[in-house]
Amino acid sequence: MRALRSIDVDTFYDLTEPAIQHVLLSDFLNLQPFFSMLSPPCTHLSQYMFSNWGKMDPLTKYDLLHKGIGHIDVSCWISTIQAATKSYYCIENPEGSQAWNRANVSCPQSEGLTIVI
């Protein structure tokens, strides 16, 4: 098993940017990786952050929330591609994360193909 690239905020891939999303989704559609590990940053949607929202400037709060939701959305798109191509994926996100409490978040659950931690 080998990796083509590590898509990470630390490696300068901002998944809230449409051009980066296009590259990432194109890679998944063209290369059809056997396995992907999805670990969207949970900082902005964690239970700990929930207590800080009231103390933040509204524009900063909106920007951080927008980025956090964008990362979750990209993870769900990738998991949908992986499920459609009968490939494996793992989504890592801490228990209690607010990331999954949106009505429109739906990552596929294919029996035998999905591991959600």
For 110, the token pair is: 């294919």
Q: Is residue 63 part of a domain?
A: yes
80 φ/ψ angles, rounded to the nearest 5 degrees: -65, -45
Q: Is residue 61 part of a domain?
A: yes
89 φ/ψ angles, rounded to the nearest 5 degrees: -155, 155
Does 6 have pLDDT greater than 80? no
Range of the structural domain that residue 38 is part of: 19-116
Q: Is residue 79 part of a domain?
A: yes
Q: Name the pLDDT band for 1 (thresholds 50, 70, 90).
A: low
Report the pLDDT averaged over residues 88-98.
74
Please report the beta strands in the chain, taking only residues with DSSP state E, as ranges in sequence order: 35-38, 88-91, 114-116
Q: Is residue 54 part of a domain?
A: yes
pTM of the predicted protein model: 0.75
* Secondary structure (3-state) at 27: helix
Report how many domains make up the chain.
1
